[in-house]
Amino acid sequence: MMTANEGIPVVLIVDDVPTNIKVLANALRHEYRVKVASRGEDALRGARLEPQPDLILLDVMMPEMDGYEVCRRLKSDPVTEFIPVIFITARDTDEDQELGFNLGCVDYITKPFSLPIAKARIRTHLRLKRQTDALERLSHIDQLTGLANRRQLVTTFGMEFKRAAREGLPLSVLIVDIDHFKDYNDHYGHGAGDVCLCQVALSLMKSLSRPGDLVTRYGGEEFVVLLPATNRADAYALGERLRENILQLNIPHAFSSSAPVVSVSIGGTTADTLIDADSPESLLERADKMLYRAKEMGRNRTVFTTT
């Protein structure tokens, strides 16, 4: 949707002290569109409402909901998770900063701050955000993990589907989903969750050997693996290998009921010969049903369609 403000960055300032808001807002309003909030709840609402902020300046110490909690909630909501957050705080011990970075903030500005330096940092992060957004629109690569993204999957899946139909070859699809990943994030922090996602992605990539195999980040903590010219038995064996290699990473997950370490569940399907009713979507749907079954059966396993 085009708005009159298209192109002008939007900054959300969150602070319970009105004078603090005023100082920052006055310094920024000539360059940016400024939104303000004086409570955590309002900040969360303001982050979701159009025009969504391109950057959030977040005070740490606030009554009711503090800045850390606001950040935690922003990062676990798909609508707001990619908005960069800068903490503004008088608490500047290493522990405080580490906590903030682990919650997914991009920077810290400690009070009392110099306005020109704060403005320079804000400008830098807004520029990075704009570049990232532009790349994301063009890219076929997932920003976090470096894997192919969903856009790439759609293209490649379409091509491989046609090829398999033309040549009468089997085509297998796996959906890999991390077990109890919400609990992982909640207990170890969103930053640690991101590191975990990258490790899992790398493991998947390293576990595949054929040039035609494709592993993609399908969304969140879900990966889709496309295996051209691979029959059911081989695809199942490969699924098990992927799963075991991820267990071998030995990433502690004390809050999972399926294993003491990070594990995945895998749903898979194979089309031996594609029929008219098949489509990339229908294969994904079948694999997804099997994933659901794998979760239901206790997770940390691979479940395949039988025919």
Give catalytic residues, as residue numbers: 221
Question: Least distance from C-beta 295 to ligand GH3, angstroms?
Answer: 5
Candidates 44-52, 54-62, 191-199, 204-212: pick the segment binding ligand GH3 (CB under 6 A).
191-199
Which residues form the interface with Mg ion (CB under 5 A)? 177-178, 181
Of the residues 72, 125, 299, 301, which one makes contact with ligand GH3 according to CB under 6 A: 299
Of the residues 158, 212, 220, 252, which one makes contact with ligand GH3 according to CB under 6 A: 220
Using CB positions, name the residue nearest to ligand GH3. Answer: 193
299's contact among ligand GH3, Mg ion, none, with CB below 5 to 8 A by partner kind, is: ligand GH3
Which lies closer to Mg ion via its Cβ, residue 207 or residue 258?
258
193 binds ligand GH3, rule: CB under 6 A: yes
194 binds ligand GH3, rule: CB under 6 A: yes
Residues 61-120 that bind ligand GH3 (CB under 6 A): 76
Tokens at 28, concatenated: 């920024």
Site size with ligand GH3, rule: CB under 6 A: 18
142 binds ligand GH3, rule: CB under 6 A: no
How far is 300 from 265, CA to CA, in rounded Å?
Answer: 5
194's contact among ligand GH3, Mg ion, none, with CB below 5 to 8 A by partner kind, is: ligand GH3
Of the residues 200, 221, 262, 287, which one makes contact with ligand GH3 according to CB under 6 A: 221
252 binds ligand GH3, rule: CB under 6 A: no
Which lies closer to Mg ion via its Cβ, residue 108 or residue 181?
181
Q: At what angle do helices 67-75 and 94-102 cross, to 10 degrees?
A: 20
236 binds ligand GH3, rule: CB under 6 A: no
269's contact among ligand GH3, Mg ion, none, with CB below 5 to 8 A by partner kind, is: none
125's contact among ligand GH3, Mg ion, none, with CB below 5 to 8 A by partner kind, is: none
How far is 268 from 5, CA to CA, in rounded Å?
Answer: 46
Of the residues 8, 135, 144, 254, which one makes contact with ligand GH3 according to CB under 6 A: 144
300: left (phi over 0), alpha (psi -120 to 50) or beta: left
Candidates 157-165, 176-184, 223-231, 266-274: pick the segment binding ligand GH3 (CB under 6 A).
176-184
Tokens at 222, concatenated: 């879900």
Question: For binding to ligand GH3 (CB under 6 A), which residues are involved?
Answer: 76, 144, 177-183, 185, 190, 193-194, 197, 220-221, 295, 299
